[in-house]
Amino acid sequence: MSAAYERLVARLKRAHILGTVAGLLGWDEQVNLPPDSADQRAEQSALLAELHHAAASDPEIGRLLAEVEKEVCHLLSDKLSEDVDEKVVWREAKKDYERVVKLPAEFVAEKARLSSAAYHGWAAAKGKSDFGAFAPFLEKHLEMAKQEAAYLGWGDRAYDYAIDKHDPGMTAAKITELFAELKAGLVPLVRAIAASPVRARTDIFKGFPVEAQREFLREVTERLGFNYRRGRIDVSLHPFCEGSGADIRMTTRFDADNPLDSLFSSIHETGHGLYEQGLPLAAQGTPLGQNAGMGVHESQSRLWENQVSRSRAFWAFFEPRFREKFPAQLAAVSSEELYLAVNEVAPTLIRVDSDEVHYNLHIILRFEIERRLFSGELAVADLPAAWNALSQELLGLTPTSDKVGVLQDVHWSGGAFGYFPSYCLGNMMAAQLWFAVRAKYPELDTDFEKGDFARLLGWLRAEIHEQGRRYEMGELVRRVTGEELTPKYLLRYLQERYAPLYLK
Amino acid sequence: MSAAYERLVARLKRAHILGTVAGLLGWDEQVNLPPDSADQRAEQSALLAELHHAAASDPEIGRLLAEVEKEVCHLLSDKLSEDVDEKVVWREAKKDYERVVKLPAEFVAEKARLSSAAYHGWAAAKGKSDFGAFAPFLEKHLEMAKQEAAYLGWGDRAYDYAIDKHDPGMTAAKITELFAELKAGLVPLVRAIAASPVRARTDIFKGFPVEAQREFLREVTERLGFNYRRGRIDVSLHPFCEGSGADIRMTTRFDADNPLDSLFSSIHETGHGLYEQGLPLAAQGTPLGQNAGMGVHESQSRLWENQVSRSRAFWAFFEPRFREKFPAQLAAVSSEELYLAVNEVAPTLIRVDSDEVHYNLHIILRFEIERRLFSGELAVADLPAAWNALSQELLGLTPTSDKVGVLQDVHWSGGAFGYFPSYCLGNMMAAQLWFAVRAKYPELDTDFEKGDFARLLGWLRAEIHEQGRRYEMGELVRRVTGEELTPKYLLRYLQERYAPLYLK
């Protein structure tokens, strides 16, 4: 490695470390912060954000990138050398650097101010179920999102820019195509299940002591492979996973009458945590030690949460353990009742409460709305009507109010457009990986029945985690599965899992 | 306020906020850090220390100090205006700034490296009970401490400089005088108690469930006045109190067979926490929002731990509550047995295990050693012999090994000379405050018997906490009690509390 390259890496790591400290402040705010300490935390976080921005936009990084570019330029047009470490670091670091320096500081500050005001505006509007009160914030965010894309040189492709921020290389046109195929397959399945007389019983979960829930999910997440010597799990209002490298912090929440909520949300966060723990530690702070984007991240959390942990093989091992922890509570519940409850399908207006069959329809709805908003087909004022019509079309339900309709999600209050599609892209990728790894290792079910998940994790480590940001999602899926990203495996997986339960 | 003054305050606050973030990293390290995440935390902490140092030594602070000096110069020779806010901020900020900028960066880095090596050297030497293995580190620290004092312009008054760092305005000569008087009064009391047939029973504390201990100490610390909306208590290996302003974090530890350890260490940390919570929040980040030094800090922790919480009035209120939490464990224990156990006096070789009567003798020993080391009367090689002789003279005990003698404390491995005396100065000040406030409010005992500590806390808030760093310890004691700092109140307090118990 050249001296310039080493200096570049040192600067990148410095910015990265500041980012991890800012992340820890955020984790602590959700997990530990005393109720009246929020103002002080806001000051700390604002200063760290400022220092992180200064480190990431350090002009020395720009100079070093130019020097390194000269060194790697002979590789630039060579497709075969696309994934040489130095080239990957240069390419991705340059992309990050330009995103940081091309946005005027005043624009960034204005977006932060707008997001803060819009968050409170959204919360108030949601409380009153009054979209009109939130609309002006959304108008302004939309305008700023277009301005941001223009600063970055994306011209009139503002929505593509928003998508690319979350899933590099992905476009609205590509997603439109994928979602159309997915929708065509999903709607009939949903309709068929809705017509089925089979209903999961969820009233069987009453009075599950929190301490026993905690012990059980600790055992599960540890067996899945989460390394508690380099991470921990705590309690927060909303589950999340934060951190990078050697210190990954997940959270969950407990409800004595809903043990599956904390179990499955913990497994979901474990999927995120396993990905972060699997990124190459030695490359920490460089793109080679970073995740490949939101969609790939979500593929990891969903694979563990859904494909693995809702499977019969998983429950073959864990059901006796679950019963050991809650013998009285589960005494009158049969194995089939339990397994059906784990795989409950029932439509709901609320995305975050949705089962995995309906979930993707919630996303298709949001993508459709965002796409039309950015193209100008849809005016902000007409959003509730468009939302409600799509909800009826896709879910068979019309929201009774904006609160449970267009105002349900927090994302838009932060101007986070292009974020929703990642969830669904992640679901597709998870299913596609699932079929690929099972074709390679037919013995996986036997592993799971023994409580052994090492073979699956080892494969994900080698194929996905250790690649860092080397490949964009599309390229990564091609390399690992031999096919383009496609919804057909997600549809096949949902069919194979849910048809035997509901369409007997 | 002038524009220069406002800019100065903004720079000071910036450095302060970075200090609080570094502090939070330290707290998290002791309370939450996963076992294999230490390297990553070390990188984060090193970067924050670097940024904090850069912010505190920002040349702009030097320029602004010079500007503000011109504005306040007409106040400089005016004794009456000693405590005008702007003058206090200028005076103390200048002192801090010079301490930071007069030390060469290489010297600071070398001291940090030495401290890290010396810490491990000390731990290993203590393990083998071999002072010789630690001596070279101590030699080097002593040499660097003298060098540091020289950099700061203290010439050959290196030990005074070390003391002043912890307790501004205090000197070795002054402490020598105070400790001589204290020793003269303490040794006869200790001898008399040693000859007493009265012995506290500590075997009465067995099997106190941790959860009930936690509830009890939460009630106690809340009643004393700790504001849990701006702070919290967690578990760590060694109890401590960290944070400033609106977010104060205390820690404790639990032992089912030693409930008084966690109770009294929590009350001790509560004393520190109440002081920090009482500093003026609006002045956060300036000297007016900072504590007045180690000795004053210790006076607050000791006052609550000892004078308040070992009193009959305190236990008149809390004994029934304590028994409610542990009815079976305390069934056969009389009130007098419990109160005597709370006030156990028994000599020990170990400072941190010492009762409050012997405690000050441990400090006098260390001060005497440090004083002689700095004056050159004592060579490092002769330290164990000197320690053991002083131990026999003061405590009536000769250490059986260096491990329980000269190697017992961690402080010197960090080069923290001049730190030990603060503990004893704090004990003196606590007792002096105790007599002052009881003279002013004879009804304090009646308050305590009702579980009401607001009158005492209100007085401490107004007289001590709200003053920030306005006065040095000596001046503060004079203003609050009308007298110079003196050991006579500590001696009187110990006599009044322990003679009725042991010298009946």
Instruction: State the CB neighbour count (10 A cutoff) for residue A237.
Output: 9
Element containing residue B414 per DSSP (H, E): none
Q: What are the chain B neighbours of A14 within 8 Å (beta carbons)?
A: 47
Look up residue A138 and give its two tokens. Answer: 């959304």
User: By the CB < 8 Å criterion, does A35 face chain B?
Assistant: yes
Among B486, B406, B343, smallest CA distance to B129 is for B406
User: What is the full DSSP assignment across B21-82?
Assistant: HHHHHHHHHHHT--TT-HHHHHHHHHHHHHHHHHHHT-HHHHHHHHHHHHHHHHHHT-GGGT
Among B360, B422, B412, smallest CA distance to B383 is for B412
Size of interface A-B (CB pairs under 8 A): 79
What's the per-residue H, E or C state across A472-487?
A: CHHHHHHHHHCCCCCC
Element containing residue B145 per DSSP (H, E): helix B131-151
Enumerate the β-bridge partners of residue A234.
A251
Per-residue pLDDT of B2-40, as tens digits, reads 899 999 999 999 999 999 999 999 999 999 999 999 999
CB A18 within 8 A of CB B47: yes
Q: Which of A148, A242, A269, A305 is catalytic?
A: A269
User: By the CB < 8 Å criterion, does B37 face chain A?
Assistant: yes
Among A270, A32, A45, smallest CA distance to B28 is for A32
Q: What is the pLDDT of residue B118?
A: 94
Return the amino acid letter for B238.
Answer: H
Please calculate the CA angle B441-B434-B274 and round it to the nearest 5 degrees.
95
Q: What is the pLDDT of residue A174?
A: 98
Per-residue pLDDT of A408-422, as tens digits, reads 999 999 999 999 999
* List of E strands, A348-431: none
CA distance A34 to chain B (A): 5
Instruction: State the CB neighbour count (10 A cutoff) for residue B166.
Output: 21
CA distance B430 to chain A (A): 29
Among B311, B237, B230, B308, smallest CA distance to B273 is for B230
A231 three-state secondary structure? strand
Q: Say how far apart CA B389 and CA A111 lie, in whole Å.
A: 69
Per-residue pLDDT of B374-422, as tens digits, reads 999 999 999 999 999 999 999 999 999 999 999 999 999 999 999 999 9
Q: What is the pLDDT of residue A81?
A: 66
Q: Which of B269, B298, B356, B370 is catalytic?
A: B269
User: By the CB < 8 Å criterion, does A39 face chain B?
Assistant: yes
Asked if A17 lies within 8 A of B51 by C-beta distance, the reply is no
Question: Does residue A466 have a pLDDT over 90?
Answer: yes
Asked if B37 lies within 8 A of A228 by C-beta distance, the reply is no
Q: Say how far apart CA A426 and CA A407 lie, in whole Å.
A: 24
User: By the CB < 8 Å criterion, does B32 face chain A?
Assistant: yes
Across the range A391-396, mean pLDDT stands at 95
Decide if B269 is catalytic.
Answer: yes
Nearest Cβ partner for B36 among A17, A34, A229: A229
Question: Does residue A80 have a pLDDT over 60?
Answer: no
CB A212 within 8 A of CB A325: yes
Question: Does residue B491 have a pLDDT over 80?
Answer: yes
Q: Say how far apart CA A46 and CA A53 lie, in whole Å.
A: 11
Nearest Cβ partner for B246 among A37, A48, A246: A37
Chain A CA closest to residue B37:
A246
Indicate if the alpha-carbon torsion angle B157, B158, B161, B162 is positive or negative: negative
Asked if A44 lies within 8 A of B229 by C-beta distance, the reply is no
Question: Does residue B281 have a pLDDT over 80?
Answer: yes
Q: Where are the domains of chain A?
A: 3-150, 210-343+433-462
Enumerate the β-bridge partners of residue B419.
none
Per-residue pLDDT of B70-85, as tens digits, reads 887 776 666 656 668 9
Chain B CA closest to residue A50:
B14
CA distances from A44 to A49, A445, B502 (A): 9, 48, 52
Q: What is the pLDDT of residue B80?
A: 57
Q: What is the DSSP letter of B258?
A: -
Q: What is the pLDDT of residue B2?
A: 86
Q: Say how far apart CA B151 and CA B168 lie, in whole Å.
A: 18
Instruction: State the CB neighbour count (10 A cutoff) for residue B328.
Output: 7
CA distance A48 to chain B (A): 8
Across the range A130-136, mean pLDDT stands at 97
Per-residue pLDDT of A143-172, as tens digits, reads 999 999 999 999 899 999 999 999 999 999
Q: What is the DSSP letter of A356?
A: H
Q: Say how far apart CA B426 and CA B302 lie, in whole Å.
A: 7
Q: What is the pLDDT of residue B137?
A: 97
Q: Say how far apart CA B462 and CA B233 lie, in whole Å.
A: 25
Element containing residue B116 per DSSP (H, E): helix B105-128
Beta-sheet pairing, B247-252 with B241-244: antiparallel
Among A278, A269, A230, A241, smallest CA distance to B41 is for A230
Per-residue pLDDT of B290-344, as tens digits, reads 999 999 999 999 999 999 999 999 999 999 999 999 999 999 999 999 999 999 9
Asked if B21 lies within 8 A of A21 by C-beta distance, the reply is yes
Q: What is the pLDDT of residue A77?
A: 63
Percentage of residues in chain B with pLDDT exceeding 70?
A: 98
CB A293 within 8 A of CB A299: no
**Tokens 């009308």 appear where?**
B482
Q: What is the pLDDT of residue A241?
A: 97
Q: Say how far apart CA B267 and CA B274 lie, in whole Å.
A: 10
User: By the CB < 8 Å criterion, does A246 face chain B?
Assistant: yes
Which of B47, B53, B244 to mutate: most A Cβ within 10 Å?
B47
Q: What are the chain A neighbours of B245 within 8 Å (beta carbons)?
A: 40
Indicate if the alpha-carbon torsion angle A299, A300, A306, A311 is positive or negative: positive
User: By the CB < 8 Å criterion, does A33 face chain B?
Assistant: yes
The model's confidence at residue A78, banded by pLDDT at 50, 70 and 90, is low
Asked if A231 lies within 8 A of B34 by C-beta distance, the reply is yes
CB B425 within 8 A of CB B153: no
Enumerate the β-bridge partners of residue B247.
B244
Backbone angles phi, psi at B345, to 5 degrees: -120, 120
Q: What is the pLDDT of residue B82?
A: 64
User: By the CB < 8 Å criterion, does A231 face chain B?
Assistant: yes
Look up residue A60 and give its two tokens. Answer: 């020395």
Chain B CA closest to residue A48:
B18
Which of B45, B247, B251, B281 to mutate: most A Cβ within 10 Å?
B247
User: By the CB < 8 Å criterion, does A232 face chain B?
Assistant: yes
Which distant-in-sequence residues (6+ apart) come within 8 Å of B389 by Cβ? none
Q: What is the pLDDT of residue B81?
A: 66
Which of B31, B41, B43 to mutate: most A Cβ within 10 Å?
B43
User: By the CB < 8 Å criterion, does B36 face chain A?
Assistant: yes
Which distant-in-sequence residues (6+ apart) come within 8 Å of A165 by Cβ? A99, A418
Chain B CA closest to residue A228:
B34
Which distant-in-sequence residues (6+ apart) come within 8 Å of A74 by Cβ? none
Instruction: State the CB neighbour count (10 A cutoff) for residue B331.
Output: 8
Q: What is the pLDDT of residue A84?
A: 85
CB A435 within 8 A of CB A489: yes
Distance of CA A237 to the CA centre of its chain: 18
Among A58, A43, A82, A83, smallest CA distance to A8 is for A58
Asked if B40 lies within 8 A of A229 by C-beta distance, the reply is no
Instruction: State the CB neighbour count (10 A cutoff) for residue B371.
Output: 21
Strands ordered across the beta sheet of A231-235: A231-235, A247-252, A241-244
Nearest Cβ partner for B34 among A36, A39, A229: A229
Asked if B25 lies within 8 A of A20 by C-beta distance, the reply is no
User: By the CB < 8 Å criterion, does A376 face chain B?
Assistant: no
Q: Say how far apart CA A44 and CA B51 lie, in whole Å.
A: 13
Instruction: State the CB neighbour count (10 A cutoff) for residue A233.
Output: 21
Asked if B231 lies within 8 A of A33 by C-beta distance, the reply is no
CA distance from start to end of chain A = 62
Q: What are the chain B neighbours of A245 within 8 Å (beta carbons)?
A: 40
Instruction: State the CB neighbour count (10 A cutoff) for residue A29.
Output: 16
Across the range A269-279, mean pLDDT stands at 98
Q: Over chain A, what is the mean pLDDT? A: 95
Phi-psi region at B84: left, alpha or beta (left = phi > 0; alpha = psi -120 to 50): beta
Look up residue B306 and give its two tokens. Answer: 């000892």
Angle at which helix A473-481 crosses helix A294-302, to 10 degrees, equals: 40
Question: Does residue A91 have a pLDDT over 90?
Answer: yes
Q: What is the pLDDT of residue A73?
A: 72
Across the range B442-460, mean pLDDT stands at 98
The model's confidence at residue A2, banded by pLDDT at 50, 70 and 90, is confident
Q: What are the chain B neighbours of A34 within 8 Å (beta carbons)?
A: 228-232, 246-247
Q: Say how far apart CA B465 and CA B461 lie, in whole Å.
A: 5
Which distant-in-sequence residues (6+ apart) come within 8 Å of A397 by Cβ? A347, A348, A349, A391
Q: Say how far apart CA A154 and CA A150 lie, in whole Å.
A: 5
Per-residue pLDDT of B123-138, as tens digits, reads 999 999 999 999 999 9
